[in-house]
Structure 1
Amino acid sequence: MPKSFRDIGLPSWLVENLNSLNITQPSLIQENTIPPILKGNDVIGGAKTGSGKTIAFAAPILSKWSEDPFGIYGLVLTPTRELALQIAEQFLALGATMNIRVSVIVGGEDIVKQAIELEKTPHFVIATPGRLADHILNSGEDTIAGLRRVKFLVLDEADRLLSNSFSSDLDKIFKILPRSENRQTLLYTATVTDAVRELKKNDNTKKPGLFIYEVETVDKVAIPSTLSISYIFIPSYVKESYIHSILKLPENLDKTAIVFVNRTHTAEVLRRTLRNLEIRVTSLHSEMPQSERTNSLHRFKASAAKVLIATDVASRGLDIPQVELVINYDIPQDPDDFIHRVGRTARAGKKGESISVVTEKDVERVLAIENRINKKMDKYDLVNDDKIIKESLTVVSAAKREALMDMEKEGFGERKKNNKRKHESNGKKKNKKKNL
């Protein structure tokens, strides 16, 4: 007989809140990791996107908090702003009857307002590493004092957080947190990498041991059977025209689609080009102000925009259940990123479609992906050179020229360049001081 949330140790008030959200039975990752968290174990949980990982750590943390509520009880770190906002919503929904206070600390928002929020010691802080590290360096002891007593640290999308790009910020954060033996550490991920497994070897505290649970299918079935995977092989300079033709096909006109790219500049060019061609499109990438990113996601979820152009900030964790088509405008370097991208569609047994635009530079990457998913991509033949030349090439070229001119006028990317120059300048100053 399937277990209930009450069977695995959650209190009545939390079970009632879950029921009110129409969540009545634990998923595999919840059933297997909630009990060890309640017993005091550190936990590493591996399960694919959409399997309920957030509730797997939020529910037991809220359960323990309700027994002894104080200060900043839990800190959740996650790689993107959108995931941070989504996790905060889950905490607020689960703790709705308990008046919990949750603070979201991410880039793109007022840093002074955030510092004031942290000083008031909310019960839970959901943060991206870069912005929290910024507060630790610059906002003063009154702001960060509450973090020194947290009972729980969660790394969500742990494989990404433990990559080199976040290491410097994590070092700053870990220095002010309680020692590992004085807190519980929970790592959740769709991909249990070697960097994540390495933590088990370093677990030498006297607490209850580190518990690792992976849903068995997490790596064995990389691609669901309901997902069709195809490719189209073209020269790189006509990519936009092919994307336009694919989206304008009668069978795709009403589909919700995510088009994944590797760079923010590409995302912006493609969004503006398609918008000039009267396609209902929006985008999601790190160069956008946070308010625009939030609005963009809401527009896509509400179907006000049918096409989302996104970098990998949208490939994991985000709750976008209605996607029917995923297009890889750029092929990712890491095959696992491909799996996360196409995992945005064909969810919960529904059918989905993925099309990858392959150029002469991408052949090795495609072979690596096919090897990883143990499946060959089919050739996509609904658009061809004749169709492109006849219907798309001229209008798309004109729309792209207009997009590039507008971006140049508006100085797109200047903020990123200025930040890079500032960091380089600060680095030189630090090196000078070291050499004195």
Structure 2
Amino acid sequence: MGDDGMILNFDLGGDSLAPARTSGGFKGRWTDRLKAKRAQNYRAKKSNGNVNVAVGEGPPVRQRAERQERPQRPKAQPAPEPTEPEKPKSRASLVQADSVLKKKRQELKSLGKVPEGANGTFMSSLWTGNPEAAPITADTQTEETEEKQAPSNAPLADGASTFANLGITPVLANHLTTKLNLKAPTAIQKTAVPELIKTDSDAFIQAETGSGKTLTYLLPIVDRIMRMDATSRQAGLFAIIMAPTRELSRQIYNVLETLIHCKNGPHWIVPGSVTGGEKKKSEKARLRKGMNILVATPGRLLDHLQNTTALEVDKVRWLVLDEGDRLMELGFEEDIGKILDILNARSKVAMQVESSMPKRRVTVLCSATMKANVQKLGEISLKEANYIAAEKTNDGEDGEDGSEKFLAPAQLRQSYIVIPAKLRLVGLNAILQRALIRETAHPKIIVFFSCTDSVDFHFSVFTRKAQQTEAEIKHEQFLARQAKRDLKAKGEDGEKKPEPFVNPAIEKGHLLNSQPLIHKLHGSLAQNIRTATLASFTKSKTASILFCTDVAARGLDLPNLDLVVQFDPPFSPDDHLHRIGRTARAGRDGRAVMFLLPGPEEGYVDAVLKKGIREGQLVRADVDEVIKKGFGAEEKSKKRDFEDKASEWHLDVERWVMEQPEVAAMAAKAWGAHIRAYTTHVSAEKQFFNHRGLHYGHLAKSFGLREKPTAIKVPSNEAGGAKGKPARGAQIKGAPGAGKKRRFDMEDIGDVAGEEAIKKMRMAARAMERKGGLSSEFNIG
């Protein structure tokens, strides 16, 4: 037999004569079996030190970059094509930087400063692997301008505009100027109050936030009732005012009381309030005694109209729908329609003639926006209405639809910060620390979150105490025993002393500058806690912070509020307008800042934030500068030492979460709720806020979690799934809140986007109200 020219290269190793393993242990398709066989043969050849590949074999399907390089092949033999493309150099630099950071962590860990993560793994760094934001250009200012805009919602300063000139009684005008310190009416009050006093026509009132819409409709009502010859609580119910939230209803009621209880004022006028969360029995008792002006939420008002015979509405002359856009957004359209039908059926206004009262029922609709749903509400409730808006200022311009372009107060300074997900928590700490040392001695700050669980978690983060020494713990225990003995000594007379009410929604921010009082407010709190919390924040004379959901975004007048932080972006442009409208009210200065993620969310700036603002009113803050100033890094320091300070602060949070199972469950629940709430942005903004674009791992780190997203177990609320399995939202045994009644929150929406999510939310809320009036995130009932 002749030589066929084939060159064979054999390696007679120690086990080369052993029987070869077959592919009988591999299962699957023939391609998978072939790949597995080739990989096995390659590993066997490599372990024997032979790098030549036999005929029919090939390189493994995927080779790790960390493996050692192969020995050089003979030059006559061409190199095989690489199975994967080479990685870019920037990746190599990242790996190198990460290795340096890893070495640094090892040194810190040896000193006992940095604990290991779960299963001995290292925590991801705050400063590596973050997506890059668009660079700051000349179009985006990095510093706030010193030039201040003239207030657009301040009382008029022309000297000729006074409350006495509006046509109201001298008693009311004098009370407003002397007791309430209101020197002059605002533009909308100057336009609307005389109109509502002189005419009996329906009205649609539109004005920017903080311009005094509440007084605009209350002054004509109180004034015209005062002009009656005689009245009392038994004279009948003359006005009904509907508001979308309990907090706004309580605020309207308080303003109404201040007008009535003025010197030589109409003390005979009796106001009343019925809202969700209160006991119906006590509300029915008040209704039986009688009242002249009623403030209510739509769900509870409809309940009493249908089931409480003592509520007589035949003399109602005014119906006010405050925050009309919010009433529609929360799904009150059907309830309002039923209320209007009942009022029309029971009305006897035409048979009753008083000289000072309207000859027909007047409906007033108030809103800061002119959206399609507001127009629909107007079609349902208004008849031949007058449109009333504030007189345009010199700098006002008309928008595309003919409405006034500027709806945010002119003196409000807005900014935004594009910050990676991993840095969100340290960014919030930096913003708060910086705000607490600004020019105001006792600043007030409000922080908006997307869901109740996120409020609860961040409230716990910023109210936790620093790790105490043994001596400090013993001292605290001594003080507690001393207080207990003092309390016992006071009760020795045999009378049982009631324990003082301690509000669980108010705590000190022990680790923040000046240790401010931190409050939390959302729809899942009991009504008495919500009322006490809002009262504490409003009346506080020290530095205070309010963590809340959008329950506090509409209509509330929070005095001397310095800063609004939108930690989670609003769900619609109108929500943004109302959130920032909590500050810069009645001509006062105010600031607002929004957190955005790098990437698609940056498009939100041009699409929404820059619309309808004045030049210089919106600036972009640099993330490094914000964190640097917030963590007290030296201005002239070339070293980025603020990274170390921020990392240490965040590591303390991670240790705290890891060491306490109940806190870890709270963090996981907040993380899951935040992602589900992210899906509820309006459809027009889904291009900027799409949950599929979120980096769940980076987002988990901002909640102090070290596990991979697939390893995070999210506690849920609703029990009783199909086939004995826990349903989505089921309460896990032992988790926080186990055994409590189910509450409807943002996280009940699920992964449904846009308008469908809102529709599902409304249906679930209405169903819950019919079943028992459970509290909800949106204050229904």
Same-fold status (TM-score > 0.5)? yes
Change (3 A) 1:43 1:281: same
Q: Choose from 451, 455, 462 the match for 1:274.
A: 462
> How far did residue 338 of structure 1 move?
1.5
Pick the aligned partner of 2:387 from 188, 194, 212. 212
**Aligned Cα RMSD in Å?**
3.2
Structure 2 equivalent of residue 390 of structure 1: 647
More displaced, 68-77 or 160-169? Answer: 160-169
Partner of 1:33: 192
1:313 to 536, 539, 551: 551
The alpha carbon displacement at 1:22 in A equals 2.8
2:562 and 2:361 map into 1 onto residues whose CA distance is: 42
**Residues in 2 aligned to 1:297 and 1:95: alpha-carbon distance in whole angstroms:** 23
Partner amino acid for 2:602?
Answer: V
Answering whether residue 500 of structure 2 is matched by residue 340 of structure 1, we say no
Farther off after superposition, 166-175 or 266-275: 166-175
- The answer to whether structure 1 residue 98 and structure 2 residue 336 are counterparts is no
Decide whether aligned partners of structure 1 residues 222 and 58 sit closer, same or farther in structure 2, where only a CA change above 3 A counts: closer
Q: Comparing both structures, which one devotes a greater share of its residues to helix?
A: 1
User: For residues 204 and 351 of structure 1, do their structure 2 counterparts lie closer, same or farther at Cα, with a shift above 3 Å needed?
Assistant: closer
The within-5 A match list for 1:29-428 is 29-38=188-197, 39-68=199-228, 69=231, 70-96=235-261, 97-99=265-267, 100-137=269-306, 139-140=307-308, 142-144=309-311, 146-163=312-329, 165-178=331-344, 182-198=360-376, 209-215=384-390, 216=392, 219-249=404-434, 251=437, 255-276=443-464, 278=510, 279=512, 280-301=517-538, 302-304=540-542, 306-360=544-598, 362-374=601-613, 377-380=619-622, 381-383=625-627, 386=643, 389-399=646-656, 403=663, 405=665, 408-411=735-738, 414-416=741-743, 423=767
Aligned-residue offset at 1:299: 2.1
Does the aligned pair in 1 maintain the 2:209–2:409 contact within 8 Å?
no
Distance change >3 Å, CA 226–CA 8, structure 1 → 2:
closer
1:254–1:102 Cα change, 3 Å: closer
Letter in 1 for 2:166: I
Give how far 1:110 is off: 1.3
- Structure 1 length normalisation: TM-score? 0.85
1:24, CA displacement in angstroms? 4.4
Residue pair 1:265, 1:413 contacting (<8 A) in 2 also: no
Distance 1:299 1:15 in 2: 29
**Judging changes above 3 Å, is the alpha-carbon distance between structure 1 residues 292 and 305 closer, same or farther for their aligned structure 2 residues?**
farther
Tell me the distance in 1 between the aligned counterparts of 2:765 and 2:386. 44
SS at match of 2:446: strand
Kindly indicate whether the alpha-carbon contact (under 8 Å) linking 1:41 and 1:184 is maintained by their aligned counterparts in 2: yes
| Distance in structure 2 (CA, Å) of the matches to 1:308 and 1:397 | 23
Which deviates the most, 185-194 or 325-334? 185-194
Residue 153 (structure 1) shift: 0.3
User: Per-residue displacement from partner, 1:128-165 (whole Å, max 9, x unpaired)?
Assistant: 1122223334x33x133x13431100011122113352
Which runs of no fewer than 5 residues in structure 2 stay unpaired? 1-158, 348-358, 397-402, 466-509, 629-641, 670-734, 749-763, 772-781
SS at match of 2:460: helix
1:315 Cα deviation from its structure 2 partner: 2.0
Q: Conserved in 1, the CA contact under 8 Å of 2:443 and 2:542?
A: no
| Cα separation, partners in 2 of 1:204 and 1:45, compared to 1, 3 Å | closer
Aligned residue among 171, 178, 181 for 1:22: 181
Which piece of structure 1 moves more, 395-404 or 93-102? 395-404
Q: Is the 8 A contact 1:276 1:399 kept in 2?
A: no
> Which letter maps to 2:180?
L
Q: Residues of 1 paired with 2:543 and 2:449: CA distance?
A: 18
The number of residues matched between the two structures is 421
Amino acid at match of 1:175: D
| Cα distance change of structure 1 residues 174 and 397 upon mapping to structure 2, 3 Å threshold | farther
Distance 2:202 2:590 in 1: 36
Deviations 1:316-363 (A, max 9, x none): 321212122221110012122212222223345544332211125633
Does the CA-based 8 Å contact 1:44-1:188 persist in structure 2?
yes
Q: Quote how far apart the aligned CAs of 1:203 are.
A: 8.3
User: Whose Rg is larger?
Assistant: 2
- 2:188–2:207 contact (8 Å) kept in structure 1: yes
Post-superposition Cα deviations, 1:175-209, rounded to whole Å, max 9, x if no partner, equal 2213699410011222233333456667885xxx4
Change (3 A) 1:285 1:221: same
361-370 vs 158-167, which moves further: 361-370
Deviates more, 1:353-362 or 1:59-68: 353-362
On the 8 A contact 1:159/1:193 being kept in 2, the answer is yes
Select the structure that is richer in strand: 1
What secondary structure does 1:147 align onto? Answer: coil
Contact 1:245–1:388 (Cα < 8 Å) also in 2: no
Aligned residue identity for 1:271: F
C-alpha distance in 2 between matches for 1:237 and 1:59: 50
Cα distance in structure 2, aligned partners of 1:117 and 1:425: 23
Deviation, structure 1 residue 40: 1.1
The alpha-carbon distance between structure 1 residues 223 and 358, as it changes in their structure 2 partners (threshold 3 A), is same
* Structure 2 partner of 1:431: none
CA–CA distance in structure 1, aligned partners of residues 423 and 370 of structure 2 = 37
CA contact (8 A) 2:237 2:293 kept: yes
Cα displacement (A) at 1:395:
1.9
Secondary structure of the corresponding residue to residue 149 of structure 1 = coil
Q: Mean alpha-carbon deviation: is it higher for 398-407 or for 418-427? A: 418-427
Q: Could you tell me whether the CA contact under 8 Å between 1:242 and 1:388 is conserved in 2?
A: no
Q: What is the CA distance between 1:230 and its match in structure 2?
A: 2.5
Distance, in Å, in 1 between the alignment partners of 2:192 and 2:362 is 13
- Residues 411/308 of structure 1: CA separation in 2 closer, same or farther (3 Å cut): farther
Counterpart AA for 1:247: L
Give, as a single letter, the amino acid of the residue that structure 1 aligns with 2:334.
Answer: S
Residues in 2 aligned to 1:412 and 1:191: alpha-carbon distance in whole angstroms: 42
Measure, in 1, the Cα distance between the counterparts of 2:376 and 2:203. Answer: 13
Deviation per residue, 1:202-242 (Å, 9 max, x gap):
7885xxx4211112358433444543332222333542332
The percentage of counterpart residues that share the same residue type is 29
